[in-house]
């Protein structure tokens, strides 16, 4: 599209039209000399994003051209060529918008239920609203305070919702408050704003929101520290987790603030730095863009790179964020834990693979990666038959699949096993 725009501005309208048509047809070379591009061709773009077996979904297109009256090339019509180029660009932009809407649409069968206070806060506990402001802006958040809190240091879990969700919705779906009451921890639910993103997605795909002390990471880290200042929070037991866009942002928070978050949970998300703009985000979501996970592929971190234990959940029938992204989150975290200069099999993390099945629910495969001392560093849960939804969640919230293993309980278990310092931070 950039090249087509340049050609249009240069007055090369026929060339711009031909280039866009070739891209939509999936061609990489110009047409043969005896078949010049037709300015009056009518081009339509049709397609869908889905997972077919284990192959990434692709954007397909068709080109319907009117039959030529003769073998002689049509006379150039600059005005018609300009209109055609503009029309093709508009269709392509609309197709991008359609795929983006798919990213924020609930999984079939997991539509939002009405969410209110009952069920979100067990009787006797507090679910308060607060906000944090810095030079970037302001974000409100809900904070769950367990009834067993009497000033003693407790863990804090920061939960980042997915697109179109709210703190109340996310709390109801994950049921994290009930677990926090039973296991004694605070839970914070930051809220994305419509002003920052019209779909209330965390902007994980913007370079400006992937840096330490900048963009949305600075807001999330800031409100985390604000809670730690206002309450007795154990600084060694602060964690971050999220779903979908929130999961991708959780990966970014772990990468950019490894000194603040002791461990991370990424559910149906993407690795840190998977994209820097919307088209690249769509490609990453479809699984058509793979990342390199070298030791220096996690720019913007406080240390290079971050060593934050991570637990990953992903459904193998997720047609919104391709399951390969869960594998890439795992690979990115494993790369951060690898010893400096590690190249051989003897330096690789040891993995234990287990299979299981929820009674009357989904089967799953859990892969646990351990360091040389046998300490678990990364867990990857692949939920068989699950789509884009929080595994084991409640139908009271959106984007949930009650038939899967309890992701909330497993994340909290993993977090409690990994206080800050349990896994030594590697020197850069």
For residue 28, pLDDT beyond 50: no
Residue with tokens 């989150």: 329
pLDDT digits (tens, 9 = 90+) for 361-372: 999 999 999 988
The CA-based diameter of the chain, rounded to the nearest angstrom, is 87
pLDDT digits (tens, 9 = 90+) for 362-414: 999 999 999 888 899 999 999 999 999 999 999 999 999 999 999 999 999 99
Neighbouring-strand partners of residue 189: 142
Strand ranges in 330-410 using DSSP code E only, listed in sequence order: 350-357, 363-370, 376-383, 390-391, 400-401
Give the sheet arrangement for strand 154-160, strand by strand: 126-133, 138-145, 186-190, 154-160, 233-243, 263-267, 310-315, 376-383, 363-370, 350-357
- The reported pLDDT for the residue numbered 373 is 85
Domain ranges in the chain? 1-27+81-101, 126-416
| Superfamily of chain region 126-416 | Alpha/Beta hydrolase fold, catalytic domain (3.40.50.1820)
For residue 49, pLDDT beyond 80: no
C-alpha triplet 350, 354, 357: angle, nearest 5°: 160
For residue 72, pLDDT beyond 60: no
Q: How big is the chain by its Cα radius of gyration, in Å? A: 24
pLDDT digits (tens, 9 = 90+) for 266-325: 999 999 999 999 999 999 999 986 665 543 344 444 444 458 999 999 999 999 999 999
pLDDT digits (tens, 9 = 90+) for 205-251: 999 999 999 999 999 999 999 999 999 999 999 999 999 999 999 99
pLDDT digits (tens, 9 = 90+) for 75-84: 545 555 455 5
Band of pLDDT at residue 99, cut at 50, 70 and 90? low
Band of pLDDT at residue 121, cut at 50, 70 and 90? low
Contacts of 360 (CB under 8 A, 6+ apart): 403
Residue-averaged pLDDT of the chain? 78
């Amino acid at each position: 599209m950039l090249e087509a725009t340049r050609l249009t501005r240069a007055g090369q309208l026929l060339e711009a039209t031909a280039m866009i048509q070739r891209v939509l047809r999936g061609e990489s070379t110009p047409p043969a000399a005896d078949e010049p591009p037709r300015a009056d061709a009518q081009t339509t773009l049709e397609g869908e994003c889905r997972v077919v077996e284990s192959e990434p979904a692709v954007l397909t297109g068709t080109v319907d051209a009117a039959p030529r009256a003769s073998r002689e090339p049509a006379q150039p019509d600059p005005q018609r060529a300009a209109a055609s180029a503009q029309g093709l660009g508009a269709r392509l932009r609309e197709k991008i918008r359609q795929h983006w809407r798919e990213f924020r649409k609930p999984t079939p069968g997991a539509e939002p239920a009405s969410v209110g206070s009952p069920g979100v806060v067990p009787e006797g506990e507090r679910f308060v609203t607060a906000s944090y402001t810095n030079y970037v802006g302001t974000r409100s958040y809900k904070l769950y305070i367990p009834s067993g809190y009497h000033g003693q240091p407790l863990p804090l879990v920061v939960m980042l919702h997915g697109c179109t969700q709210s703190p109340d919705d996310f709390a109801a779906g994950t049921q994290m408050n009930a677990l926090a009451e039973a296991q004694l921890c605070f839970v914070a639910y930051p809220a994305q704003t419509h002003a920052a993103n019209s779909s209330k997605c965390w902007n994980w795909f913007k370079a400006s929101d992937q840096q330490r002390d900048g963009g949305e990471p600075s807001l999330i880290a800031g409100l985390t520290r604000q809670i730690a200042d206002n309450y007795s929070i154990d600084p060694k037991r602060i964690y971050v987790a999220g779903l979908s866009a929130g999961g991708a942002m959780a990966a970014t928070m772990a990468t950019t603030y490894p000194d603040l978050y002791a461990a991370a949970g990424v559910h149906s998300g993407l690795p840190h730095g998977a994209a820097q703009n919307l088209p690249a985000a769509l490609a990453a979501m479809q699984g058509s863009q793979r990342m390199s996970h070298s030791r220096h592929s996690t720019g913007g971190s406080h240390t290079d790179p971050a060593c934050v234990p991570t637990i990953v959940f992903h459904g193998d029938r997720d047609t919104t964020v391709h399951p390969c992204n869960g594998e890439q989150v795992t690979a990115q975290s494993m790369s951060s834990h690898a010893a400096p200069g590690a190249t051989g099999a003897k330096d690789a993390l040891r993995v234990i693979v287990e299979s299981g099945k929820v009674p009357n629910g989904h089967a799953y495969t859990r892969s646990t990666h351990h360091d040389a001392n046998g300490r678990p560093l990364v867990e990857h849960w692949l939920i068989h038959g699950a789509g884009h939804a929080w595994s084991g969640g409640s139908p009271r919230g959106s984007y949930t699949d009650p038939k899967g293993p309890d992701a909330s309980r497993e994340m909290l278990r993993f977090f409690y096993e990994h206080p800050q310092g349990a896994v030594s931070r590697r020197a850069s």
